[in-house]
């Protein structure tokens, strides 16, 4: 069965600093991968997704992620963090042939210092 | 704009009560989902529905049931609430996977924080 691991439960960065959130997956075939963000009091919003092709994908709000098959990773990056990026971030993998279902990682809570 | 709404943002119930959580989507989506969100565990799928009156168990269905009588509405039912069901509950919806599309995005509601005393 597929699984997703986000090794960092909490991360704190200074505003303007770069950000990398880690995601590792376990899946037997080429995965469909996603990053979602949950701002306080909000539902989840899709940041970006990877299905195939170019391994560097661009998303909304200036985020990007890189798929590395050799490392089973799909890390999320942003070159300069804004205070409004403080939120919880979830990595997810789609379950193939299973009606659009997702398996989520445990989440990483990002705090931004002024 | 896709809208997924949940009937309550906060709910407090007593042990043994029957609890209904309602979710409504306005995009004519075939698929609807109920997740439970707990710190460090992320989102875990409770139940999934791909059509009216159709449902499938997710990863943690024990203690829960669901109802989908209309396409736009998906209800989560806790037959006899217990303290270990205190959690955040998220509803989501998506189109079914159509021919030629690998995946359809899930859209999420704002969540219901349920406390069982």
Contacts with A, B 29-68, CB within 8 Å = 31, 33, 35, 39-45, 48, 50, 56, 58
> Which of A44, A101, A106 is the closest to B45 by Cβ?
A101
Average pLDDT value over all residues in chain B: 92
* Span B4-96+105-116 CATH architecture: Sandwich (2.60)
CB B86 within 8 A of CB B114: yes
The CATH number of whichever domain residue A106 belongs to comes to 2.60.40.10
If you measure CA to CA, which chain B residue comes closest to A107? B42
Give the dihedral sign, CA A79/A81/A84/A90: positive
User: Do B56 and A99 lie within an 8 Å CB cutoff?
Assistant: yes
Domain boundaries, chain B: 4-96+105-116
B98 has pLDDT over 70: no
Buried b (16+ CB within 10 A) or exposed e, B63-75: ebebbbeeebebb
Q: How far is CA B88 from CA A41, A61, B22, B110, in A?
A: 11, 26, 13, 10
Number of domains into which chain A is organized = 1
**What is the distance between the alpha carbons of residues B18 and B80, in angstroms, rounded to a whole number?**
5
B77 CA to chain A: closest CA distance, Å?
20
Domain containing A55 equals 3-113
B100 has pLDDT over 60: no
Closest CA to A100 of B2, B97, B59: B97
Closest CA to B78 of B43, B105, B116, B106: B116
Per-block mean pLDDT, blocks of 10 residues, chain A (114 long): 91 97 88 92 90 92 95 96 96 77 93 95
> Which of B35, B102, B110 is the closest to A32 by Cβ?
B102
pLDDT at B43: 94
B10 and chain A in contact, CB less than 8 A: no
pLDDT at A98: 59
pLDDT tens track for B23-51: 999 999 999 999 999 998 999 999 999 99
B35 CA to chain A: closest CA distance, Å?
10
A100 and chain B in contact, CB less than 8 A: yes
**What is the distance between the alpha carbons of residues A45 and A28, in angstroms, rounded to a whole number?**
27
């Amino acid at each position: 069965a597929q699984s997703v691991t986000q090794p960092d439960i909490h991360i704190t960065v200074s505003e303007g600093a770069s950000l990398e959130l880690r995601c590792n997956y376990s899946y037997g075939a080429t995965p469909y991968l996603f990053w979602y963000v949950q701002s306080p009091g909000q539902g989840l919003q899709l940041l970006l997704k990877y299905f195939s092709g170019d391994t560097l994908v661009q998303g909304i709000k200036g985020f990007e992620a890189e798929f590395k098959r050799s490392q089973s990773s799909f890390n999320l990056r942003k070159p300069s963090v804004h205070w409004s990026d403080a939120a919880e971030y979830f990595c997810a993998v789609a379950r193939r042939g299973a009606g659009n279902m997702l398996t989520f990682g445990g989440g990483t809570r990002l705090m931004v210092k002024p | 704009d896709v809208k997924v709404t949940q009937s309550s943002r906060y709910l407090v119930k007593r042990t043994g009560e029957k609890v209904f959580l309602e979710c409504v989507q306005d995009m004519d989506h075939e698929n609807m989902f109920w997740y439970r969100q707990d710190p460090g565990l992320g989102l875990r799928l409770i139940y999934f529905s791909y059509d009216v009156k159709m449902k499938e168990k997710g990863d943690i269905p024990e203690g829960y049931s669901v109802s989908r009588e209309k396409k736009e509405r998906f209800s989560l039912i806790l037959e006899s609430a217990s303290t270990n069901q205190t959690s955040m509950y998220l509803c989501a919806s998506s189109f079914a996977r159509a021919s030629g599309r690998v995946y359809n995005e899930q859209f999420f509601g704002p969540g219901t924080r349920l406390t069982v005393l």
